[in-house]
A = this chain, B = another copy of it.
Amino acid sequence: MVNLARGTRDFLPDQAAARHAVIARLRTVFSRHGFEPLDTPAFERIETLTGKYGEEGQRLIFQILKRGEGGERGEVDLALRYDLTVHLARVVAMNPGLRMPFKRWQIAPVWRADRPAKGRFREFWQCDCDIVGSTEPLADASCLAVAADAFATLGFRQYTIRLNDRRLLSATARAAGVGADLEIGLFTAIDKLDKIGRDGVDRELAERGIDEAARARLWRILSITGDRDLVGGPHPRDAVVAGLREALAGVEAAGAALDEVVQVASLAEAMGVPSGVILLDPTLARGLDYYTGPIWEFEVEAPKVGSLGSGGRYDGLIGVFGKTAVPAVGTSFGLERIVLVMEEHGMLPARDDAPQVLVAVFDAANPEPAARAAAALRRRGIRADLYTGTAKLRNQLKYADAIGVSWVVIAGPGEAARGAVTLKNLGSGEQVEVPLVDLADRMVSHGITPVEQSPHPS
């Protein structure tokens, strides 16, 4: 029996339409915020991706066999897109004339050879907005503002933005007496707080060689937090700021980093992020090691699907293919999780692309009247499905019901001779003969909205 590749899915019409509708809304929001579209290929030369995602990520890259002789020896030369950020870095390196700051969005599938699990797929879509070429907190805030607008436009009323900063995490490590050499291990462990809890993280920190006194100092700082599991409820942002300012007072540059995070949050609020949404959370770590400044994650309480997206500042990555460092900050949404949450909460928009009327074929030997009726409706911008099978009229009405249309046009030979068709409402059962030239207008008068006038020439 034929089957899908592991970790991949088909999207049948209703699901595909829902995803398209969400993507369309995101695109509207992204361009409303001045981001511009960029499209990059699905695969890259393998050396472009190699060494960019850490050891763990490297193993998850899908590699493409060389064509010809090299392939016979098992050699690979291409790799499938793993995220959208490395591609952006390549585009920036290859297009020195790009206007800076360069604000781009990209919505595209990425592929990772992860072990498939509930909600985890090998093909999934990322929706990214990034600003390249600016170190200003206004750029970071812009990434939070576009995210908040996206959530609002999609109908999200309850979500939080957990905000932290890599420099604050480093300062926390310093203040606790953890050396710079253990820092990445520390971040990686803290990043698991949601999954393995405080005891699990503490055990991992001990295994990584952080002694008990340092761990106690660490937990004291991390408890100045918005994390529910640690303190029973989020602290107001001001309280977290004050607590951190005191706890990190002795660490160089911690105060400046804290000021900047606060500025990012308040600029984001000036740009429309609702107050109360942004929580300052010293326990937010983010696994990827390329972040250099503010970092964030978007979360909903229920259903528990992990973060809906995340982002942060990464001033070291974009320059990787060029000669100079290029600062950048960006935010990314996971389409699958967003659609999942919207589905569970009944937030998915109603389909606006499904047929509005079915034109039935009264006599399969003479379908021309039906063809003319369908053309008349489409010319007016009405979405008209024309039945192309051979079922009896009764079964065509069932088909109409199944595709969710309540209007059926029947073009029988009698009506055709009079230049007319029969218009039937499946709900009321009423039917009426209408001149073909009036058909489309009649549908519109019944509340069928034509979507876009077709400039169809005939």
* A31 to chain B: closest residue by CB: B353
Give the residues from 19 to 57 in chain A that come closer than 8 angstroms, CB to CB, to chain B. Answer: 19-20, 27-29, 31-34, 36-45, 48
Most buried by B among A10, A37, A157, A266: A37
* Assembled-state Cα–Cα distance A162/B103 (Å): 44
A contact residues, total (Cβ < 8 Å): 120
Q: Chain B interface: which of A60-68, A225-233, A307-315?
A: A60-68
A134 contacts partner chain B, Cβ-Cβ < 8 Å:
yes
The answer to whether A267 touches B368, judged by C-beta atoms less than 8 angstroms apart, is yes
Interface pair B378/A272, CB less than 8 Å apart: yes
Contact B94 A2 (CB under 8 A): yes
* Residue A78 is within 8 A (CB to CB) of chain B in the complex: yes
Cβ of A451 under 8 Å from chain B? yes
Task: Tell whether A109 is near chain B: CB-to-CB under 8 Å.
Answer: yes
Can you give 16 contacting A-B residue pairs, CB < 8 Å? A3-B45, A9-B41, A12-B38, A13-B38, A31-B353, A32-B382, A33-B385, A36-B353, A62-B65, A64-B80, A67-B113, A136-B367, A138-B367, A270-B372, A271-B386, A275-B458
Chain A residues with a Cβ under 8 A of chain B = 2-5, 8-13, 16-17, 19-20, 27-29, 31-34, 36-45, 48, 59, 62-65, 67, 71-76, 78, 80, 90-91, 93-95, 98-101, 103-104, 109, 111, 113, 123, 131, 133-134, 136, 138-139, 141-142, 145, 148-149, 152-153, 155, 157, 266-267, 270-275, 321, 353-355, 358, 361, 364, 367-368, 370-372, 374-375, 378-379, 381-390, 399, 402-403, 451-452, 454-458
